[in-house]
A = this chain, B = another copy of it.
Amino acid sequence: MLKQILLGFLNYKPMTGYELKTRMDESTAHFWHAYHSQIYTTLRKLEDDGLLSSEMLEEDGSPTKRLYTLTDKGRKDLLAWLGHSLTELPDVKEDLLVRFFFSARRDKEQVLDELRAQRQLHQQKLDYYMGLEAEQLLGELPPELERDGRFWQRTLEFGRRYESMYLAWLEETIQMLQSE
């Protein structure tokens, strides 16, 4: 999936690995996170496969960068991937639920502490998403990216709802345990 994300970003314009990493961190990381180590190795692999080309940039006053550009083959590959719709539901992975599922025999206060800590983290993330939305509305996008911007905004809206849903579940679960 990282492959498609990298091709997707490079479809807008050529970028370095570092720039792709920072872009991901402020947008797609909310639904697909990657470490820089994986990004750099995947970029190399995509270049080996002919989906990207790269050139070294040596500007004075900044470290040497490798700029990646989408090739025709890469663009075709991206479009082919987008052309084949998802026909199944991807598997959900929720670490906390695994822990909670086996927590009936744990010390109740310890479980409550864990749930409260998660509540705080989810609240922080929701606050962060709320902040991001305001920012994005203020910083207007160039006209050719307006439609893209609405799609991006929609993924952010998903994040907000996910965090709200999670918070409500945690809140009620904490209540349930407290009043046992």
Which residues in A have some Cβ–Cβ distance to B below 8 Å? 1, 4-5, 8, 11, 27-33, 78, 82-83, 85-106, 110, 113-114, 117-118, 121-122, 125, 147-148, 150-152, 154-155, 157-159, 161-162, 165, 168-169, 173, 176
Contacts and interface: CB of A to CB of B under 8 A. Distances in A.
Contact of A98 (B1, B87, B100, B168): B1
Given A8-B102, A101-B155, 19 more contacts: A1-B93, A4-B102, A8-B98, A30-B92, A31-B101, A32-B93, A32-B97, A85-B114, A86-B96, A86-B99, A86-B114, A89-B122, A90-B96, A92-B159, A93-B93, A94-B158, A104-B148, A104-B151, A162-B162
- The oligomer's copy count stands at 2
